[in-house]
Structure 1
Amino acid sequence: MATERVGGMAMMLGGALSSQVGAATAALAFPVIGPAGVVAVRQWVAGAVLLAAGRPRLRSFTGREWRPVLALALVFATMNLSLYTAIDRLGLGLAVTLEFLGPIAVALAGSRRLVDVICALIAAPAAIVLARPQASTDYLGIGLALLAATCWACYILLNRTVGERLPGAQGSAAAALISALVYVPVGLVVLVLHPPTPYSLGEALAAGVLSSAIPFLVDLFALRRVPTQFFGLFMSVNPVLAALVGFVVLGQRLAWLDWAAIVVVAGAMVVASVGSWAFGTRSRSRPSDR
C-alpha cells in the first residue's frame, strides 16, 4: 500500500538523520575518551533502551531464533567500532559515504527491477568520487569504513530475518543487550585509562540514543513496510545527511566536486523512490519470494 511505503520512507529518513546527528555528537567526545570509549557507552545505552522497549523473552528463544540474533549482535559491535574509528581518522562525510557501499551492494544483489540496478550503479560512482584518493588519504581509515560497509549490508539482511522470526523489537533488543555486555570489559578499561569529562560522557550518551536506540527501532519497523533492496537504495540519503551534519556540527567543508557527487546520490535516491511507487513494488517480502 502507498500509505505503508510513505510511512516507511518517513521512518527511514528520520532514522538516518538521527544516526548522523548522533555520529557527529560522538565525534565531539573522541578527543577525551576515543572511539572505543564512545562505542562502549553507545552500546550500553542502546542495550538498556532496547531492552526496555523490546522486552525480549530470552528463555523462549529457539535455536533458529538465536542464530540471527547472535549474528546481529556481532554485527552491531563490529560495525559501530569500525565506523567510529573511521570517522575519527577520515571525517564524518567520507566515512559514512564509504559505509554506504554496503547498502548499495544489497540493492544490486537483491533487486529484481532494472530501475533499482540503474540507480545503484549511478550512486556507486558518486560515492567513489566522494572517497577519491588524495595525498593525505588514510588507508587504514578507508579499510575500517569498508568493514563498516560490510557490516551494514549484513545488518540490513539480518535485521529483516530477525524481524520475521521474532515479534516486535525482541530480536533487536536481545542483540543490543548481548553487544552491550561484550563491551562492558572494553569500556571499563578505556574509561579508566581515559577518564571522561561530564561533557564527553553526555555526548557519548546522546550518541547512544541518537545513533543506536532510535535507528535500530526505526529500521526494524521500516523493513516491514518496504522491500529490503529499496531500503538499501533509500539509505543513499546518509552521505547527504552526513555531509550536511558534518558541516553544521563539526565545521567540515567539502569541495564543489564532493557536493556534485552528493547531488547525484540524492537524485538516484529520488528516482528509486518514484520508481518504487510507479512499478508497484511490494511493501514486504514473504518466504515464498526467496
Structure 2
Amino acid sequence: MTTSVSSPAATSEARSTGRRAGIAMMLGSALSNQLGAATGALAFPAIGPAGVVAVRQWVAAVVLVAVGRPRPHRFTWRQWWPVLCLALVFATMNLTLYTAISRIGLGLAVTLEFLGPLTVALAASRRRVDLLCALVAGAAVLALLRPRPTTDDVGLALGLCAAACWAAYILLNRVIGARLPGAEGSGAAAALSALLYLPVGAFVFAHHALTARALACAAAAGLLSSAVPFLADMLALRRVPTRFFGVFMSVHPVSAALVGWVVLGQRLPVVDWAAIGAIVAANTVSARQTAAKTAGAGN
C-alpha cells in the first residue's frame, strides 16, 4: 500500500490559494456590509432609520439564531449578563450608525464608527509606534469634526456613539466567546435585540406607510450587512491568520466612502478623504506591528 505525501510546493500552493480565497471573502464581506447600509439608506425617506434598523435586527436575529442555536435555558447569570449587554449594544450601535448615515453620509459615518475597534487595539498597547498611530488617528478625527458651513454636530456625535458601541461589541464578544460555545451568545443577543425592536417597529410602521420597496431595502440591509458578512468572515478566518484579518478591517471606511459615492451620490471633500486615509493607515501600521510582534514571539 502506498501513502501519498504532499510536496512542499503543493502545500505552499494550497496555502496561497486558500489565502487568495480568504482575501476575496474579506473583500466581499466589506463590500456586502456597505452595500447593505447603502441599500437600507434608500428606505430612509419611507420608514426612517429606526424602521430600517428594526427590520434589519429581525432579519439578523433569524440568521444568527439559526446559525448559533442558542440554548438560553442553560445559561448561567455569568453567561447571561454579557449577552444582555451585547443585545443593548446591538440595538444602539445599528440605530446610531444608521441615523448618522442619514445625516452625514455613509463614508463619514462608517469612518467615525471604525474608530471603535482602532481605539480598542491602540489602548491595549504601550509601543511608541502605536502612540504615533493614535496621534495620527486623533488628528484625522479633528479634521473630520472640523467646523464647516453644513456641519451636522448631531450626526457626528451619533457616529462617535456608534464607535463606542463597536468597541463595547468587541470587548463583550471576547467575554462571551470565553463563556459560551460557538455563536450561541451572538444568536441570543441578536434575538433579544430583535425583541427590543418590536415596539419600535410597531410605532414606526403605525406612523409611516410601509411600502414593498422600503421593506425589501430594509430586509436586504439585514442580509447584506449581517448574514453575508457573518458567514464570509467566519469562512475567511479559516483561510487567513487572525492578525491579517485585523489589518484587512481597514478596507471598511474606504469601501463605505466608495459605495456612498457610487450608490448614494454622497461625495466627500478632499480633506475628508485624506482623514479617512490617515485613519486607515494608522490601523494598518498598528495591526502590522502587532502581527510582527506575535510572529516574533512564536519563533
TM range (shorter): 0.7 to 0.9
Q: State the number of aligned residues.
A: 283
Is the CA contact 1:107–1:232 (under 8 Å) kept in the aligned structure 2?
Answer: no
Structure 1 position 282, deviation (Å): 9.2
CA distance in 2, matches of 1:129, 1:233: 23
1:164-188 CA-partner distances (Å, limit 9, x unpaired) = 2111111100000000011011102
CA distance in 2, matches of 1:7, 1:282: 26
Distance 1:141 1:227, change over 3 A: farther
Aligned with 1:104 (options 95, 118, 122)? 118
Aligned with 1:118 (options 132, 138, 146)? 132
Aligned with 1:257 (options 254, 266, 271)? 271
CA distance in 1, matches of 2:208, 2:214: 11
Structure 1 position 60, deviation (Å): 0.9
Is the CA contact 1:120–1:233 (under 8 Å) kept in the aligned structure 2?
Answer: no
Aligned AA (1:83): L
Aligned with 2:77 (options 49, 60, 63)? 63
Is the CA contact 1:103–1:232 (under 8 Å) kept in the aligned structure 2?
Answer: no
Larger radius of gyration: 2
Distance 1:92 1:198, change over 3 A: same
Equivalent in the alignment of 1:279: 293
Equivalent in the alignment of 2:56: 42
Equivalent in the alignment of 2:249: 235
Aligned with 1:190 (options 183, 191, 204)? 204
CA distance in 2, matches of 1:46, 1:16: 17
Q: TM-score, normalised by structure 2?
A: 0.82
Structure 2: runs of 5 or more not aligned: 1-15
Distance 1:42 1:22, change over 3 A: same
Q: In the alignment, is residue 137 of structure 1 matched against residue 151 of structure 2? A: yes
Distance 1:87 1:16, change over 3 A: same
CA distance in 2, matches of 1:86, 1:239: 14
Q: TM-score, normalised by structure 1?
A: 0.84
Distance 1:263 1:150, change over 3 A: closer
1:122-155 CA-partner distances (Å, limit 9, x unpaired) = 2332243233221211111122112111111100
Is the CA contact 1:157–1:228 (under 8 Å) kept in the aligned structure 2?
Answer: no
Is the CA contact 2:250–2:284 (under 8 Å) kept in the aligned structure 1?
Answer: no
Residue 196 of structure 1 aligns to a residue whose secondary structure is coil
Residue 294 of structure 2 aligns to a residue whose secondary structure is coil
Where do 1:66-85 residues align within 5 Å?
Answer: 66-85=80-99
Percent identity, aligned pairs only?
A: 64
Is the CA contact 1:107–1:233 (under 8 Å) kept in the aligned structure 2?
Answer: no
1:4-39 CA-partner distances (Å, limit 9, x unpaired) = 999987765544332211111111110011001000
Q: Does 231-240 or 168-177 show the bigger shift?
A: 231-240
